[in-house]
């Protein structure tokens, strides 16, 4: 059984910047509910949190495992196949991991920037796109990565 619950799936520019002819990739937001790893008696983790090595700390829950926010939200692509040698529930290459509180407080604009930055990697952001008279185009990147 998975510790993740899918919140949403959206398409983003595969390399972090939209431009003519760019490829797109699906990004999935996977929530980790608050009871996962909770040290609250009755939640099933009295012997410790088996997810502590790859998730933010557990959130305080009530006796039924409920809390106002998720434990975490993990953003992955189709290439982020689940399962590592350390733990079968760990994503080996998540784009971004936020605590549930961070996810609840972030604006979509800020989240979009952070996901695009993660997709872009070490490449500098696109600052312009030049459409030439012969029908071709050229993408211009800034000199420095963000």
Distance CA 100, CA 116 (A): 20
CB 25 within 8 A of CB 11: yes
Specify the pairing of strand 126-131 against strand 24-32.
unpaired
Res. 117: pLDDT tops 90: yes
pLDDT band at 145 (very low <50, low <70, confident <90, very high): low
Residue 146 forms part of a structural domain: no
Residue 63 forms part of a structural domain: yes
- pTM greater than 0.85: yes
Domain count, the chain: 1
Residue 4, H or E segment = none
Give the pLDDT score at 146. 59
Rg of the chain taking only CA atoms, in angstroms: 19
Residue 25 forms part of a structural domain: yes
Average pLDDT over residues 3-15: 96
Summarised one tens digit per residue, pLDDT across range 124-134 is: 999 999 999 99
Q: Report helix, strand or coil for 108.
A: helix
* Angle, CA 7 vertex, CA 41 and CA 122 arms, to 5°: 105
Domain residues for 37?
5-141
Residue 102 forms part of a structural domain: yes
């Amino acid at each position: 059984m998975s510790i993740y619950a899918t919140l949403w799936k959206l398409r983003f520019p595969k390399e972090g910047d939209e431009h003519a002819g760019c490829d797109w990739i699906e990004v999935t937001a996977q929530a980790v509910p608050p009871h996962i790893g909770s040290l609250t008696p009755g939640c099933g983790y009295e012997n410790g949190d088996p997810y502590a090595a790859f998730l933010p700390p557990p959130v305080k829950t009530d006796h039924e495992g409920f809390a106002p926010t998720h434990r975490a939200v993990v953003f992955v692509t189709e290439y982020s196949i689940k399962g590592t040698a350390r733990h079968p529930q760990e994503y080996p290459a998540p784009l971004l991991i936020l605590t549930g509180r961070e996810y609840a407080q972030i604006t979509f604009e800020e989240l979009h920037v952070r996901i695009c930055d993660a997709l872009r990697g070490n490449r500098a952001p696109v600052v312009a796109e030049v459409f030439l008279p012969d029908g071709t185009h050229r993408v211009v990147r800034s000199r420095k990565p963000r």
